[in-house]
């Protein structure tokens, strides 16, 4: 049986490595094509969507939140004020450093433990396993995929292997 730690932390590490790669490509593309960094980071598919910066922030929050809710460990608060590619890369690094502090023992064995996700629309109850498989991983990949799609839409020359990792 695969443990919750093995389902989450390695997936987060790989996802953040891919996210870092595609952000680096986006920064280079913006610089090489005279696109203002702020303009690139504010990219959205539609007006009522959160921008590229928020996609990275939500991927980070999802990874941190999973560890906090499942493992009962203190959260690392972040201010969601990143306004540059460098700041987004720093957020990824800070999130990875946070994951380094998570003891495997806090996550493993919590498959059937109750987890409550409180949102603006109410609360949803899960078990540790159903939370990871039904919310955490889909949400994490949604935000990484959306970042990829936003950069592709702007013309950044990235492909599937940049997303999947090498």
Q: Is the pLDDT of residue 1 over 80?
A: no
Q: What is the pTM of this model?
A: 0.96
- Could you give all domains of the chain from N- to C-terminal order, each with its CATH number? 4-164 (1.20.120.450)
CA dihedral 93, 96, 98, 104 (to 10 degrees): -170
For the chain, percent of residues with pLDDT exceeding 90: 96
Which pLDDT does position 2 carry in this prediction? 80
| pLDDT (tens digit per residue) in 2-15 | 899 999 999 999 99
Q: How confident is the model at residue 42 (pLDDT cuts 50, 70, 90)?
A: very high
Which pLDDT does position 48 carry in this prediction? 95
Contact 109, 76 (CB under 8 A): no
Could you tell me where the beta strands, DSSP code E, fall in 69-135? 114-119, 122-127
């Amino acid at each position: 049986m695969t443990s919750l730690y093995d389902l989450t932390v390695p997936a987060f590490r790989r996802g953040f490595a891919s996210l870092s790669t595609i952000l680096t490509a986006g920064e280079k593309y913006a610089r090489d094509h005279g696109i203002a960094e702020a303009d690139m980071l504010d990219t959205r598919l539609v007006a009522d969507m959160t921008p590229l910066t928020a996609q990275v922030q939500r991927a980070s929050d999802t990874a941190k939140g999973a560890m906090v809710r499942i493992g009962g460990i203190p959260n690392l608060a972040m201010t969601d004020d990143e306004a540059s590619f460098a700041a987004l890369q720093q957020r990824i690094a800070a999130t990875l450093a946070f994951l380094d502090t998570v003891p495997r023992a806090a996550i493993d064995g919590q498959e059937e433990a109750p987890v409550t996700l409180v949102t603006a629309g109410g609360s949803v109850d899960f078990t540790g396993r159903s939370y990871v498989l039904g919310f955490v991983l889909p949400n994490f990949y949604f935000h990484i995929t959306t970042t990829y799609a936003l950069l592709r839409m702007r013309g950044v020359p990235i492909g599937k292997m940049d997303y999947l990792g090498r």
